[in-house]
Amino acid sequence: MDTSAWNGNESVVVPGISAPSTVACVRSLGRRGIRTIVVSNDDSTPAFRSKYCDEAVRVPSPHDDLVAYKDALRSLAMRPDVRTIIPVREPDIYVLSKYRDEFAEHVSTPWPTFETLARAQDRMQLFEAADRAGVGAPETALFTTPPDQEREWIVKPRYTILGDEYVEEYTADTCVAPPSTRYLESDRAMSTEDVHTEMEHVPLLQEYVSTTEEYGFFALYDEGEPVATFQHRQRRGYSYAGGPSSFRESVDIPALEESGLALLDELEWNGLAMVEFLRDDETGEFKLMEVNPRFWSSLPFSVQTGADFPYYYWLLANGMKDRIEHEYQPGIGGHLLRGELLYLHSVLTKDIDLVEKPSMTKAVSDVAKSIYDQPRFDYLSRDDMGPFVRDLMNTVSTLR
């Protein structure tokens, strides 16, 4: 589709989810006068409460009926004002890539073909690509036999989403999030068959990398060529064992850039990607964990550092890549306050194998000090308080 002529009246479709990425897109584009259409099956999505949400549309949940969700997105794509759709979660990019040809008739499609996407969502293919690219990674194999009990292992899903393209038993209208990664130490008595049943497919067995240094490399690619990149170090996650980011710091590390670009170049990438790495405590090597082929949950922080990826995405989708002026400020931090609350809740209530838990006193002190020193927040915004209030209400309801 020819999108080179942009008159400033067009719209963008953004799925509304609980992660802050939707709100970051709505605020970034809405402040520039670009109409935003937020779609969700859930009235409690924070982006519906943003003053920059021009239109709120209820759609089926992709987890209930993927084909119905696709049809709803395609109906919006057929509108003459809609120029593109922004993927913010795995089901979004899965359905957009799987039915890419259908969407390409109506909107710009700055996302990978399904063949390319599968090389990221199928972690076996991903780690094979990392090996070809010379990118470090933990020892990884299909979990078909019991592991060496003298070593520490984790079990993680082979696929970042379970759908009919990956699991034979599924139908086209079904896609679900796979079970979470688990530490194997407490499950040594479980048979491989038990694990396969629980995971609903043959998962991966992966060497456990003992480190607190988690890094993200973020990029927007145009048909195999990088357009913009960004890096951060995760200082805290939703859990004291890690997980999504609640506090992070922008960094600029040449070795991290080299590894991220090498992998995405090998994948012949197109569109958005977050590449997650752990830094080995002993060797300093960056080791690949996974690729998220869509916008990342900490996107508001990327924008706050100067890396305005929602706007970059819009420019790329509208044939204006040459107008992207990319730079960001390393060395600053930002928070998801809900994530900080969940972090403290994990310290108070959970015991996780293989990971040392901080004391509650230290955890509270660390959170308070970092908020004072680095007062930047994903949802909290003086000119747009609605999403923050809604997210706070959602979080409180989950902790009751």
35-49, 169-183, 265-279, 309-323: range with lowest mean pLDDT = 169-183
DSSP string, 26-37: HHHHHTTT-EEE
Work out whether the CA dihedral 330, 336, 341, 345 comes out positive or negative.
negative
71-85, 126-140, 164-178, 180-194: range with lowest mean pLDDT = 180-194
Asked, for residue 49, whether it belongs to a domain, the answer is yes
Asked, for residue 132, whether it belongs to a domain, the answer is no
- Residue with the bigger pLDDT between 45 and 146: it is 45
Q: Tens digits of per-residue pLDDT, 49-91?
A: 999 999 999 999 999 999 999 999 999 999 999 999 999 999 9
Residue 175 has pLDDT above 80, yes or no: yes
The pLDDT of residue 3: 42
270 & 293 share domain: yes
DSSP string, 60-122: --TTT-HHHHHHHHHHHHTSTTEEEE---SHHHHHHHHHTHHHHHTTS---S--HHHHHHHHB
Residue 8 has pLDDT above 80, yes or no: no
The pLDDT of residue 300: 97
174 & 267 share domain: no
Q: How far apart are CA 126 and CA 117, in angstroms?
A: 10
301 & 232 share domain: yes
The pLDDT of residue 352: 79
The pLDDT of residue 263: 98
228 & 185 share domain: no
Q: How far apart are CA 379 and CA 388, in angstroms?
A: 5
For the chain, the first-to-last Cα distance in angstroms comes to 49
295 & 388 share domain: yes
| Number of compact structural domains in the chain | 3
Work out whether the CA dihedral 155, 160, 163, 165 comes out positive or negative.
negative
The pLDDT of residue 146: 79
Q: What is the overall mean pLDDT for the chain?
A: 92
* Domain termination residue (choose one: 207, 229, 254): 207
Asked, for residue 45, whether it belongs to a domain, the answer is yes
Asked, for residue 183, whether it belongs to a domain, the answer is yes
240 & 344 share domain: yes
Mean pLDDT of 13-21: 96
191 & 222 share domain: no
Asked, for residue 233, whether it belongs to a domain, the answer is yes
Q: How far apart are CA 241 and CA 209, in angstroms?
A: 12
Mean pLDDT of 363-371: 95
Q: Kindly provide the residue ranges of all beta strands, DSSP E only, lying in 189-332, ordered along the sequence.
A: 204-207, 214-222, 225-239, 242-250, 271-279, 286-292
Q: Give every CB contact of residue 390 below 8 A, 6+ residues apart in sequence.
A: 44, 45, 46, 48, 49
232 & 367 share domain: yes
Residue 82 bridge partners (DSSP): 11
DSSP string, 122-174: BHHHHHHHHHHHT-----EEES-SPPPTTS-EEEE-SBSSEETTT-TT--TT-
- Please give the structure tokens belonging to residue 315: 């420019």
- Per-residue confidence at 189, pLDDT binned at 50, 70, 90? low
371 & 228 share domain: yes
Closest CA to 201 of 161, 243, 147: 161
Closest CA to 295 of 392, 389, 230: 230
Q: What are the angstrom distances between the C-alpha of 196 and each of 125, 145, 191, 202, 207?
A: 19, 11, 9, 5, 18
Asked, for residue 91, whether it belongs to a domain, the answer is yes
Asked, for residue 374, whether it belongs to a domain, the answer is yes
Domain ranges, residue 183: 139-207
* Domain termination residue (choose one: 67, 82, 117): 117
100 & 158 share domain: no
383 & 247 share domain: yes
**Backbone torsions φ then ψ of 301, nearest 5 degrees:** -70, -40
186 & 64 share domain: no
Question: What CATH number has the domain bearing residue 304?
Answer: 3.30.470.20
The pLDDT of residue 397: 82
* Domain termination residue (choose one: 181, 207, 233): 207
Q: Tens digits of per-residue pLDDT, 240-281?
A: 888 888 999 999 999 999 999 999 999 999 999 999 999 988
Query: Which stretch of DSSP H or E encloses residue 307?
Result: none
For 326-331, which contacts have Cβ atoms below 8 Å and span 24 or more sequence positions? 326/227, 326/228, 326/229, 328/230, 328/250, 328/302, 329/250, 329/305, 330/231, 330/250, 330/251, 330/252, 330/305, 331/249, 331/250, 331/251
Question: What CATH number has the domain bearing residue 16?
Answer: 3.40.50.20
Asked, for residue 227, whether it belongs to a domain, the answer is yes
